Amino acid sequence: MGVDCKVFNPDRRSPELRQRFLARAVGQTHSILLLYAGRLAREKGLGLLVETMKRLRRDLARDYRLLFAGDGGLRLELQAEFDRQVPGRVLFLGHIESRDELAELFANCDLFLHPNAREPFGIAPLEAMASRLPLVAPNRGGVTTYANSENAWLSEPQSSTFAFTVRSALADPKILRRKTLKARQTALEHSWECVTEQLFELYDRLHFQQRMAQDSYLPSKLLRSPSGLPSSP
């Protein structure tokens, strides 16, 4: 599994693009743009985002807006729940087919929220890291194979701790910069170029081991007669 670090790149940040996304989310210049990208399916743990937004809405110092990039069978139910719990705070963008448009969205938001504690790996969180978009994720699941306290903000998958972690991630600009720089480096280590090279190295090792196993079997095989019985010395 890997990420295209050329497409998902912090160089795509732009005041004009950010303002465009803020306007679509009916936010103000000071609003915080949170992003989720992925399928809208029950197994993705999206209920955590509903409860987290309910808690963040109580924060009088900051205005949080959540953008959803993706589609799925849970969309209508999820929209209805957000409209009931936090009206006007959530925007569903639907499936974004253009990778460039998706990468622009990643680069111009403030935080990426990954709620699924059972994700096998998680490409979208890695794309966020490649974009230097701060990642808030559960402290378990496949995402922890590359995300840690040095390059992300990990939390118990509960709304109280998740909302606290969202606030914490934005609290210190120096820590924010240090972690997102480290996140970009982590993503580069998981770029498609690196992952492909590692895959071919694995194939080479397996091929070498197979050849060695065959070679070690050949002498005993050559000592056998055509009848299958051991030949005379």
Q: Are residues 82 and 123 in the same domain?
A: yes
Q: Are residues 196 and 124 in the same domain?
A: no
Q: Assess if residue 4 is contained within a domain.
A: no
**194 burial via Cβ count (<10 Å: 0-12, 13-18, 19+):** middle
Q: Which domain holds residue 203?
A: 192-233
Q: Assess if residue 49 is contained within a domain.
A: yes
Q: Are residues 107 and 156 in the same domain?
A: yes
Q: Which of 19, 105, 22, 91 is nearest to 53 (CA)?
A: 91
Structure tokens that stand for 126 in this block: 């890695």
Task: Tally the C-alpha atoms within 13 A of residue 221's C-alpha that lie toward its C-beta.
Answer: 6
Average pLDDT over the chain, rounded to whole? 90
Q: Are residues 65 and 37 in the same domain?
A: yes
Please, which residues have CB within 8 angstroms of residue 23's CB and are 6 or more apart in sequence?
none
Mean pLDDT of 192-200: 59
Looking at residue 1, what is its pLDDT? 79
Q: Are residues 216 and 116 in the same domain?
A: no
Alpha helices in 108-229 (DSSP H): 123-130, 159-169, 173-189, 192-222
For 96-116, write each residue's pLDDT tens digit: 999 999 999 999 999 999 999
Percent share of the chain, pLDDT over 70: 86
Q: Are residues 197 and 173 in the same domain?
A: no
Residue 212 confidence (pLDDT) above 50? yes
- What is the spatial distance between Cα 71 and Cα 85, in angstroms, rounded to a whole number? 20
Beta-strand pair 153-155/135-138:
parallel
For 76-91, write each residue's pLDDT tens digit: 999 999 999 999 999 9
Looking at residue 223, what is its pLDDT? 47
- What is the spatial distance between Cα 220 and Cα 66, in angstroms, rounded to a whole number? 68
Q: Are 97 and 3 in contact (CB under 8 A)?
A: no
Q: Are residues 215 and 104 in the same domain?
A: no
Q: Assess if residue 74 is contained within a domain.
A: yes
The structural domain count of the chain equals 2
Q: Are residues 224 and 169 in the same domain?
A: no
Looking at residue 209, what is its pLDDT? 80
For 21-46, write each residue's pLDDT tens digit: 999 999 999 999 999 999 999 999 99
Mean pLDDT of 145-169: 97
* R_g of the chain, CA atoms, integer Å: 24
Q: Are 43 and 118 in contact (CB under 8 A)?
A: yes
Alpha-carbon torsion 12, 17, 19, 25, what sign?
negative
Q: What is the pTM of this model?
A: 0.84
Looking at residue 232, what is its pLDDT? 47
Q: Are residues 167 and 233 in the same domain?
A: no
Max CA-CA distance within the chain? 92
For 48-71, write each residue's pLDDT tens digit: 999 999 999 999 899 999 999 999
Mean pLDDT of 177-193: 91
Q: Are residues 220 and 171 in the same domain?
A: no
Q: Please, what is the Cα angle at 153 between 150 and 157, to 5 degrees?
A: 135
Looking at residue 214, what is its pLDDT? 80
